[in-house]
Chains A and B, each alone.
Chain A
Amino acid sequence: MPDNSFKPLDPLLHSELRLAVMSILIGVDSADFVYLKSETGATSGNLSVQLDKLQQAGYIEVKKGFKGKMPQTVCSITDRGRDAFASYVEALRSYFPTQ
């Protein structure tokens, strides 16, 4: 019997900006704050808040350092974040009719 129920979507990922950040990080080794800001079009404040939420959930790792004399924040996805993203995509499938 086919399962027609919708699977719950991870509320942490079901947010436009956080999902955009995770979609970027899933395909790269790491990305700095400036790159994430330009790719998502978010404001610095909003992006910082959302990155903090993802970090607290253990989905991303945030390293603060310096590039030359300029401060640099580099983000990368963790194994937990990768699993969460895969589960989110899997859950998303249940919202679309299978062919």
Chain B
Amino acid sequence: MENNFSAENSLRLITETIERSRRAVAKNAGKPLILWGALVSITAFVIWILWSKTGSPAWNFLWFAMSVIGFLGNRYLDRDKEKVPATEVTRLIGKIWMWFGILSTGFFALVWAAWGIRCAVGIEGPLNVDLTMIILMMMGLCGAISGSVLKLKSVTIPVVIALALAATFLMVMPSGSPVRILSFVILGVLALIVPGVILQKNEKKQ
């Protein structure tokens, strides 16, 4: 076997092995995307209903409950997952989403702290920050970078489309309205569930 191993075969072997390793990383990405997409969409929908009915934006704290459910769900999915060795790509993607979690949670806490200070000192009027737009943009950016690093157009393209639609929706809807939270339904379905389903279908084909 080794005697017939030509330069062409060598090159093909190297290319195929590296490509297979890259695909193995993407292979496990489908289910978590669907899980998080469903959680983001359902949570945004529930918050919209409760916020609209009660008039209290405090229902946004449900995002934290969603994070806990998502974390536990991810742990559950990891149980059946085929173990793939850590690579620079998986580490990079992990760090990208870790920083999304840290920054969005931190920013969320900061906005509520600022709101508390305003209430305490008696400053009226809306806060000069569009938290929904900022978190939406960060989430879209992280999704687009992840898709790009994994070289998966099936992730990058829906994310960019979702981001454009959701951002337009936010700009059209009146500032401070609970309906703006539905922009996360657009992002959850188009940027997470759709790529997740595509990745799952591709995995089954291979």
Contact = CB atoms under 8 A, between A and B. Distances in A.
**Secondary structure dominating the interface of A:** mixed
B1 A39 contact: no
Interface residues of A, number: 22
**Secondary structure dominating the interface of B:** helix
Contacts of B18: 23, 26-27
A20 B7 contact: no
B13 A23 contact: yes
B172 interface: no
Interface string A34-69: 010001000000000000000000000000000000
Contact of A15 (B2, B7, B83): B2
B76 interface: no
A19 B85 contact: no
B14 A24 contact: no
A14 B21 CA distance: 20
A24 B17 contact: yes
A9 B18 CA distance: 20
B52 interface: no
Interface string B8-31: 111101100110111000000000
Nearest to A89: B14
Given A23-B14, A23-B17, A39-B20, A28 B85 contact: yes
A28 B21 contact: yes
Contacts of A96: 7, 11
B177 interface: no
A84 interface: no
A95 B1 CA distance: 20
B87 interface: yes
Nearest to B24: A39
Contact of B21 (A24, A88, A92): A24
Given A9-B7, A27-B21, A35-B85, 8 more contacts: A16-B2, A19-B14, A20-B13, A28-B87, A30-B86, A88-B10, A89-B14, A92-B10
Interface of B: 1-2, 5, 7-11, 13-14, 17-18, 20-22, 83, 85-88
21 contacts: A9-B10, A14-B5, A14-B10, A15-B2, A15-B5, A16-B2, A19-B10, A23-B13, A23-B14, A23-B18, A27-B21, A28-B87, A29-B86, A31-B85, A35-B83, A35-B85, A39-B17, A88-B10, A92-B11, A95-B8, A96-B7
